[in-house]
Amino acid sequence: MDTVVMTGAAGLVGTAVREGLREVAARLVLVDRRPLTQETPGEEVRQAVLDSVETVTGLVEGADAIVHLAGVPDEAPLPDLLEGNVLGTHHVLEAARRAGVPRVVLASSNRLTGCYPSSVTVSPEMPPRPDGLYGVSKVAVEALGRLYADKFGLEVVCLRIGSLEPEPADARQLSTWLSPRDCAGFFVDALTRKDVGFLTLYAVSANTRRFWELSDGYRPQDDAEAHADRLAHERGPDLQGGAYAGPAYTLRHLA
């Protein structure tokens, strides 16, 4: 690819995939509301807030693809999630349509299905069961992606990102862990795979205990089971969202 634009580039996921994207893009434009430092000659950094379609259109003109990571990253009051995640995604998709950018990769989340029991293996085709308001916002993000693929012909890939950590931090993450290496692999695959209309994939390492089906394409390399002995004393969650699926995690944002 010639040019890829990545929003939310200063965040956890952006940091994990930055080097991998440099390998497939001659020009990588990194956008965030926080200041960034250019690391290679092929990178450009832009400090911006994605608060309008016009602003985003100016950032993505001439791009071959957009990786959209910017947004509210966890449970929050619903108005904040609607503004940061849903409206922000709409600004990106509409800017892609206006600027003629053919492909958009959207950061979705495993929290979109966090109320499924841990005993169930979930595929992307199964109905959403969000574990909170954050998960609800990601349902809307995927619906917007589907709309722009069906109605306007954009190529949209939604990656339901697992628990991105250097190592699994608790018993739940023995199922949900996503290593930084595998995270980069999933995003590179989402940018470079052919014949994409609309596609939803779980981005999770090859964990023996994983909750979610892996789709074709990138095959993850790491398995949380290598860290199981360290976490063997912990009990796994009844629901896939674990503590995120409990009432207390959302009630504090409903005042």
Sign of CA pseudo-dihedral 114, 119, 123, 129:
negative
At residue 10, the 3 state secondary structure works out as coil
Catalytic residues, which ones? 134
Question: What is the rounded CA–CA span in Å between residue 136 and residue 53?
Answer: 23
The tokens for 78 are: 């619903």
Q: What is the CATH number of the domain that holds 106?
A: 3.40.50.720
Q: Which domain holds residue 119?
A: 3-251
Task: Specify which residues 41 forms β-bridges with.
Answer: none
**Per-residue pLDDT tens for 77-93?**
999 999 999 999 999 99
State the amino acid at position 95 in one-letter form. A
pTM: 0.97
Give me the residue label for tokens 């190592």: 167
Summarize the confidence of residues 122-132 as an average pLDDT: 98
**Per-residue pLDDT tens for 61-80?**
999 999 999 999 999 999 99
Sign of CA pseudo-dihedral 155, 189, 222, 125:
positive
Task: Specify which residues 122 forms β-bridges with.
Answer: 212
Q: Are 158 and 145 spatial neighbours (Cβ–Cβ below 8 Å)?
A: yes
Half-sphere exposure of 228 (CA within 13 A, CB side): 13
Tally of domains in the chain: 1
